Amino acid sequence: MVGFLLYLTGRLLYALTVLVGVTSLAFGLIHLSGDPLAGLVPPGSSPEQRAALATRFGLDQSLPHQYGLFLTRAVRGDFGESWRQRQPALEAVLDRMPATLALAAVAVALAVVAGGALGVLAGARAGGITDRLVRGLALAAQAVPGFLLGTLLILVFAVWLHWFPSSGRGGARALVLPAIALAAYPAATIARLLRVGLIEAMTADYVRTARGKGLAAGVIVWRHALRNAVLPALAFVGVQIGFLLGGAVVIEAVFAYPGAGQLALSAVADRDLPVIQAFVVVLATLIVVVNLAVDGVARWLDPRVAANDGGVSRGRWPWR
C-alpha cells in the first residue's frame, strides 16, 4: 500500500511537471513567433493605436511579468478573454471540446476494434495470406496522410455516393468519415504491434504447455497469449490518444467539423493568444489524465508492473 501511494504521488508530481513545462513552452513559442498584435492591428494604424491595444491586452509589460501573470491566472482556470470572440478563452475551448472528444472517442474505438481484430488475425496466422493482407493494408494506412485520406473519403462517400455528409456536425453520420480518417494510422500501428506481440507470445513456454494440455488454438490465443501480447499495443493507445486529439485539428479543418481543433486553428491564424493557451492547457491535461489511466490498466493487466510500483518501491522515480 505504501509503495502504491509513493507511486501515485510520483505520477501526480510528474503530471504537474509536464503541465507546467507544456504551458511554459507554449507561452514561449507564441511570443517568439512574432508580434502578437500583428493579427489585430489594422493596416495603417498609428503608433498610438498600437500602444492602446498593447496596453489593453497586457502586452506592454515585460515577458517575465506576462509569464508570471499567465501562470497565476492559469492555476485558477483564467486565461483571459478571447481577443476575437469577446468571451472567456477557456469557455470558448470547453464549448467546442465535447465535439472533439466525441470524434476522438469514436476514432479510438474504431482504431482499437479494427486494429485489434486485424492484429489478432495476422498474429494467429503468421506467414499466411491473411497475415500478408493485413501487413499490406496496415502499411497503406500508415503511408497515406490523414488530410489526403479525408479528402478521398469526402470525394467517394460524400460527393459520389452521397452516403455521408461532407462537413459539419449533424448526428452520428457526420462522425463516420472524420473518425475513419483519424483512426486509420493508429489502427494500422495497433495491428502491427499486436501482430508482433502475438507472434512472440505464441512461442513462449506457457503457450507450449497449453498446447501440450490439448487446449484449442482459439483458447490459447484469447486466454493466454493475447493477455501478454496486448501490453505494447495498450501503451501505444495511451500515447496515441494525445496524437488523436492533436491530429483532430487537421481532420476538423478538412471536414469543417466544429470542434476545439478547428477553433485552435482559427486562433493560430488570428493570433488569439488566450484561446491558444487555453487549448494547449486543456489538451495537455487530457493527455496526462489518459496516460495515467492507461498506466493503471497496464498495472491491472500485468501483475509484474504492479509488483514494482513503477520502480518507486526500489527508490527510483517512475519516469526514470
Which grid cell is 283?
A: 489538451
Global pTM value: 0.75
d(CA 135, CA 148): 21
Q: For residue 311, name the pLDDT band (cuts at 50, 70, 90).
A: very low
pLDDT at 153: 93
Whether the per-residue pLDDT at 216 is higher than 70: the answer is no
Confidence of residue 263 (pLDDT cuts 50, 70, 90): confident
The 10s digit of each residue's pLDDT in 41-65 is 766 677 777 788 778 777 778 788 8
Q: Which long-range contacts (CB under 8 A, 24 or more apart) does 224-229 make?
A: 225/198, 225/201, 226/120, 226/198, 226/201, 227/301, 228/197, 228/201, 228/204, 228/302, 229/123, 229/194, 229/197, 229/198, 229/200, 229/201
At 235, is the pLDDT very low, low, confident or very high (cuts 50, 70, 90)? low
Nearest to 28 by CA among 280, 250, 247, 246: 280
Cβ atoms of 125 and 201 within 8 Å: the answer is no
pLDDT in tens, 193-210: 888 777 776 666 555 565
pLDDT at residue 290 is higher than 50 = yes
AA letter at 8: L
Please compute the mean of the pLDDT values over residues 168-193 and round it to a whole number.
Answer: 87
Mean pLDDT for the chain overall? 77
Q: Using H for helix, E for strand and C for coil, what is the string for 96-116?
A: HHHHHHHHHHHHHHHHHHHHH
Q: Which residue has the cell 498495472?
A: 299
- Domain limits, CATH 1.10.3720.10, in the chain: 89-258
79 or 213: which carries more pLDDT confidence? 79
CATH code for 89-258? 1.10.3720.10
Q: Are residues 45 and 276 in contact, defined by beta-carbon separation less than 8 angstroms?
A: no
Q: How far apart are the first and last CA of the chain?
A: 21
